[in-house]
Amino acid sequence: MSDLPHSASPGLSGRRVLLAWGVHLLTASGAVVGAVALAATAAGAFSAAALWMLVALAIDSVDGSLARAVRVKEAVPRIDGRRLDDVVDFLNYGIVPAVFMLAAGNLLAPGWIAAPILASAYQFSQVEAKTEDDFFLGFPSYWNVVAIYLWLLGIGPALGTAIVCLFSVLAFVPLKYLYPSHMGVGRRGMAAASVIWIIALAVACAWPEPAARWRLPEITLALPAGYLAASFWLGGIHRA
């Protein structure tokens, strides 16, 4: 590592530095995708907005692994990739889905968007958001997933608000949730299942009416349900 904190380490090739900047650009592009999702939501194009949320989720699923592979901290030390990722994630996992749920009619009143946004603000700012054994601590702000399923399943505002309140409370409960990209055993299986899940969910979002007849949204719920079950089984209560 260079003694100069704002310069790339000596000996790094221009290709490595370029790749590192490319990874940062990929992460930052998630914010652009989030803005497009907000615009689609404002226009009432919920299918398009849901698809853009899935694009943002896909970007976030791969950029961390790419950053570690390229070792961006060494190549571009002046950019804090973790901070950039948190900024983009707060938009895509907190703000965008909260606005989507309100616009889609899944919440009783506009004020209820405060619950997921405040819960996300807490999650993204707490020092111990992740445990030493690589679990998320508290519900990890998967509000994009919650929002998409509330819309696809046609959940009414009363039940939708109750579900949002439940997960908002769980953000403050010290339960441990699996961190998919940091799993040891089963990481590749989870990655493969996640790819299939995103594709199936994208099909459901693109063609919601046929998907509803095929019960595709309910079928794809198997992965989120399995994730929660595995988290409670393998993680459980965090004891400091």
Helical H segments across 133-186, by residue range:
143-152, 157-170
Element (H, E) at 135: strand 135-137
The pair phi, psi for residue 89, each rounded to 5°, is -65, -35
**Where does residue 50 rank: exposed (0-12), middle (13-18), buried (19+ CB within 10 A)?**
buried
pLDDT for residue 3: 36
* Residue range 14-237, CATH number: 1.20.120
The pLDDT of residue 187:
77
Q: From the first residue on, what is the mean pLDDT of each consecutive set of 10 residues in the chain (240 residues)?
A: 45 84 97 98 98 97 92 92 96 98 98 98 91 92 98 98 98 93 75 95 98 97 95 87
Q: Note the pLDDT of residue 185.
A: 65
Structural tokens at position 223: 């992965």
The closest of 99, 94, 17, 106 to 60, measured between CA atoms, is: 94
pLDDT at 184: 64
Structure confidence at residue 181 (pLDDT): 72
Domain boundaries, the chain: 14-237
Beta bridge partners of 175: 237
**What's the confidence (pLDDT) of residue 70?**
92
Q: What are the DSSP E strand ranges found in 147-210? A: 175-178
